[in-house]
Amino acid sequence: MGGRKDFTAEHGLSLYVETGHTRILFDFGAGAHTFENGHKIKIRPDRIDFAVCSHGHYDHGGGYREFVKNGLQCPLVTGKGFFTEKYAVSGIKSSYLGPGFDQEFLTENHITHMECHGLTPLAPGCWVMGDIQRTYEFESVPGRFVLREQDAWVQDKFCDEICLIIEEQGELVVIVGCSHPGILNILTTVKEHFSQPIKAVIGGTHLMEADEARIRQTVEIMKDMGIRLLGFNHCSGELFRNMMEQEETLSTVYLGAGDCLFLT
């Protein structure tokens, strides 16, 4: 939970981003509460220029229908394979994890679907990026995440996952959803495309299952990349949060429902 006690907090992620050129809704939370929270701080769906969904899981896409119901008509940007059936398996049990809408829903509501391939510009100083390269072997995807393809289970490597990149005064801000391909893999891929340094990382790091050694290694590599600010939430985990409270050389902040960052 963030600073707004009248907001409804739940397991999910949604970030509203404004630059000097565009307004972006990055992920949509798990359900209708995300729109309701945004309505309280006067976020107008009809004024949003791009809707970006980081990957096809319910806790990032479940609130999309409510936004569309209340006037969101801008293009939806996703990675390739976003609508492939996603599950989590445990023994003989499987749980459907999909976003709660499909291509037919977009067609019915006359919404343009943009697929991100590699680096895709949205507006001046603003891009989405997919095709994450796997550089760090220890950033592996847990085996429980699978796709259902032709009546068979296939390991989900999250090839559909994308991030948002904003250029701010010659430096980059990288906004991530869940970082399933690995937060360091994402940042390394960004650095391969841009000459500008990364100053800030915002969003879910998916370190909730990481031990202290991996978290410490991840943070040290981020520092070596020149990153100075880490605004984390969602799937980052309690251990990560506790360790960041003791972090002295990197500016860190936990972002709950209703919290804001002004980076200008």
pLDDT(3) > 90: no
Q: How far is CA 162 from CA 61, 129, 159, 195, 218, in A?
A: 13, 5, 8, 20, 20
Closest C-alpha to 185, from 144, 135, 151, 110: 135
Average pLDDT of the residues in 163-192: 97
In angstroms, the CA 231 to CA 26 distance is 15
pTM of the model: 0.96
Q: How far is CA 129 from CA 41, 50, 54, 119, 125, in A?
A: 29, 14, 10, 4, 13
> According to the CATH classification, is domain 15-254 in 3.60.15.10?
yes
* pLDDT given for residue 252 in this prediction: 97
> pLDDT tens digits, residue range 25-51?
999 999 999 999 999 999 999 999 999
Average pLDDT of the residues in 82-94: 97
